[in-house]
Structure formats: C-alpha cells, structure tokens
C-alpha cells in the first residue's frame, strides 16, 4: 500500500538506518510516521555479507516476515545512489566497493534504494523537523564524524557526482589535523567527536594536567571529554571551545555561500550544549555577512537520533510508495 492509502495492496515500505554499532529498521505507518524500530548490533568486523544479513534480518522482523514493497537504507560514507555502490565506509570497511543496493535487494526480494546516512537524516529534518516548510535548508550532523545535507530552491541538492553535502570536509585551515580520509586542515579533523578524542589523548600523552588522565587512553571518547568539560576541566573546555569555533566558522561560511533560511545542527555532540554552541556562535559571527545571517535561523535539529531512521522510511515511501508521498514533491526533472 502506499502510506495512508489503505486500498488494495498491503506490502510494507521499510526504512533501515545502518550505523557503525547498530542497525535499526522500521515500517512506514502513515505520513511521516513509522512503527516501533527493530534493533540489531552491527557485525562491523565480520564483513559486508554479515552486515547485510543483519539488515535483512531486522527488516524481516519489522515486517513480520512479509516481503516489502520497497526498502531504503542510510549508510555512513560516500556512495552512489544511482549505481548502488558504496565507495568508502570508514567504520564498516567490508562494505567498501560493495553494491549494497543489489546485495540487499537479493536478500529482501524487493527493490532497494541506498543513500548516505547524513543526507537521509537531513532529508527527515527538512520534511519533518527543523527545516519543515523551507526551500533553502542546511543540515549538519556532528558526532563521530561530520556529515550533512543541502536543500536548495526546494530540492535536495545532489551535485554532479550525487555526493554533494559533505560539509564535514570543508577546509577549516591550511594546516591542522587530518580527517579519516587524510584531508589536512579539514573540519572533520578539528571539530568531530573523533577529533576531540584524538586531541585529548595527545594532550594526555604529552603530560598536560587534566582529569582525563584517569581515563584509559584506548577508550577515551568525546563523551569523556564532554563530562570533564562540564566538571570544569580546563583542557576539556578548551578542546570543545576549539571544535565549536571551527564548526561556527564552517557554518558561517555556508551561510555566506548559500544563504539558508534554516541551518539545523544535529548529531551526538549537540548534547554538549553551550560548551559547543557558545564558541560556535562566535565563529559564525566572525565570518558570516550580516544580511544572510539575519535571514538565517540557526537551530538544533528537531528529530534527534530518530532522524536517520525517519529519513530512511521517508525515502522508501518517496522511492517506492504507490500513493502520494508525505514529504515535499519529488525534484522536478532538470
């Protein structure tokens, strides 16, 4: 059925959110709504077949064993939605070079659409969350890595290679720590959770006085740094200050370039609150022009951790639903 259709065919439409540690799947139940998510651990170390088997297993539980009408999956890393091939997956290395669309389609016996996870989360924020009703919208998600999505003139912007929206890999400086892809001075190398954790570990190793010395270095995460910063640790505060400042300069740059109506910031690091947002606002102000900044509402994402799954369900409805999708109209042919 289509969502909200109710007549005739009843095969479910399914969304899947594939993350580095867990998989969630859910069935579309109405416009912008989905059923209770089914969870699986991601067998991230066991290769592509095991990961896709786990996704298919979660889908079967979500549909109660019914063959779906169609499924959409958000996958971390650059990929080509047109060919179905994942080109890089830093946290799920076995998926690199795999045609995840065709492999999952074989397992589910239905058509499958794949999309970058941040693009899909941004799509949900646009259709259901902070960007609802806008035609110029930017989403940035700051967690382990930094991803994003752009909506320009009412259309999700894909670019010539269908990879547009990699806001985490903007230049943040000429030199500086490299991101996981090896770009020197890239925003992800300074402002992501991974970057904050790396910087903290380096400072501990070099003998800096900090409460983080009591945390085992091999498990030291951005959450530990956040906890220490909230308790007043000077190094931890400084690391969030630096990350927030760089993030703000990135946001300000995008405000200058694209003049969005709404700029939504999501991802796990937003739980740091003003530790991140105070330096971020300073960074925005020092680089953005007054006029586009005055016309832009910078806000936290509305859907929280549900954005990835909600977006995948929406994407399945948009791609394979047989009734009118609940989100904005599909992009017009260019």
Instruction: Check: CB of residue 261 under 8 Å from CB of residue 135.
Output: yes
CB nearer to Zn ion: give 179 or 228: 179
Q: Which is nearer to Zn ion, 151 or 191 (CB)?
A: 191
Phi then psi for 289, rounded to 5 degrees? -70, 150
Residue in the block written with tokens 């703000």: 248
Q: How far is the CB of 250 from Zn ion (least distance, A)?
A: 12
Going by C-beta distance under 8 Å and a sequence separation of 6 or more, which residues neighbour residue 43?
50, 51, 54
Nearest approach, Cβ of residue 88 and Zn ion (Å): 11
Task: Please state, in angstroms and rounded to a whole number, the distance separating the CA atoms of residues 143 and 162.
Answer: 23
- Longest Cα–Cα distance of the chain, Å, equals 68
Task: State which residue, 136 or 192, has the beta carbon closest to Zn ion.
Answer: 192
Residues 6 or more apart whose Cβ sits within 8 Å of residue 152 = 136, 258
In angstroms, the CA 14 to CA 16 distance is 7
Among residues 179 and 190, whose Cβ is nearest to Zn ion?
179
Name the token pair of 23. 């998989």
Please check whether residue 276 is in contact with residue 106, taking contact to mean a CB–CB distance below 8 angstroms: no
198 within 8 A of 181, measured Cβ to Cβ? no
For Zn ion, give the closer residue by CB, 27 or 186: 186
CB of 324 to Zn ion, least distance (A): 39
Q: Which is nearer to Zn ion, 230 or 242 (CB)?
A: 242
Is the Cβ of residue 60 or residue 183 nearer to Zn ion in the bound state? 183
Q: Residue 163 CB, nearest distance to Zn ion (Å)?
A: 13
Q: Are strands 297-300 and 146-152 parallel, antiparallel or unpaired?
A: unpaired
Residue 150 Cβ vs Zn ion, minimum distance, rounded to whole Å: 17
Q: How many angstroms separate the CA atoms of 325 and 113, rounded? A: 15
Considering the complex, what minimum distance in angstroms separates the CB of residue 78 from Zn ion?
A: 11
| Closest approach of Zn ion to the CB of residue 172, in Å | 9
Which is nearer to Zn ion, 185 or 292 (by Cβ)?
185
Q: Which two tokens stand for residue 17?
A: 């959110």
Residue 321 backbone phi and psi in degrees, to 5? -65, 145
Least Å from the CB of residue 187 to Zn ion: 7
Binding site for Zn ion (CB under 5 A): 169, 179, 181, 183, 186, 188
State the nearest-atom distance from the C-beta of 169 to Zn ion, in Å. Answer: 4
Nearest to 141 by CA among 124, 154, 155: 124
Give the residue among 140, 123, 63, 98 at the shortest CA–CA distance from 309: 123
Treating both helix axes as pointing N-terminal to C-terminal, what angle do 222-230 and 234-258 enclose, rounded to 10 degrees?
Answer: 110
Toward Zn ion, which CB reaches closer, 163 or 181? 181
Residue 221: how many other CB atoms lie within 10 Å? 17
């Amino acid at each position: 059925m289509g969502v909200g259709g109710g007549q005739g065919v009843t095969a479910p439409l399914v969304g899947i959110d594939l993350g580095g540690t867990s998989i969630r799947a859910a069935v579309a139940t109405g416009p912008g709504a989905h059923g209770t998510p089914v969870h699986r651990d991601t067998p991230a170390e066991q290769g592509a077949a095991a990961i896709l088997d786990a996704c298919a297993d979660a889908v079967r539980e979500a549909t109660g064993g019914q063959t779906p009408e169609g499924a959409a999956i958000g996958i971390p890393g650059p990929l080509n939605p047109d060919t179905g091939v994942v080109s890089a997956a830093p946290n799920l290395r076995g998926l690199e070079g795999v045609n995840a669309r065709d492999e999952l389609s074989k397992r589910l016996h239905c058509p499958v659409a794949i999309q970058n996870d941040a693009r899909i989360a941004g799509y949900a924020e646009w259709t259901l969350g902070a960007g609802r009703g806008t035609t110029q919208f930017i989403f940035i998600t700051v967690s382990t890595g930094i991803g994003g999505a752009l909506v320009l003139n009412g259309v999700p912007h894909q670019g010539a290679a269908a990879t547009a929206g990699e806001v985490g890999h903007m230049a943040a400086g000429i030199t500086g720590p490299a991101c996981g892809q090896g770009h020197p001075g890239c925003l992800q190398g300074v402002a992501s959770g991974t970057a904050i954790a790396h910087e903290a570990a380096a400072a501990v190793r070099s003998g800096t006085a900090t409460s983080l010395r009591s945390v085992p270095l091999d498990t030291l995460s951005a959450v530990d740094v956040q906890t220490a910063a909230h308790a007043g640790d000077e190094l931890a505060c400084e690391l969030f200050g630096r990350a927030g400042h760089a993030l703000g300069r990135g946001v300000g740059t995008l405000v200058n370039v694209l003049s969005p109506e709404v700029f939504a910031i999501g991802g796990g690091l937003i739980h740091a609150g003003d530790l991140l947002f105070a330096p971020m606002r300073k960074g925005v102000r020092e680089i953005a022009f007054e006029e586009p900044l005055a016309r832009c509402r910078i806000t936290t994402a509305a859907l929280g951790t549900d954005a990835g799954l909600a977006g995948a369900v929406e994407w399945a409805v948009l791609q394979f639903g047989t009734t009118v999708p609940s989100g904005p109209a599909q992009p017009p042919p260019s």
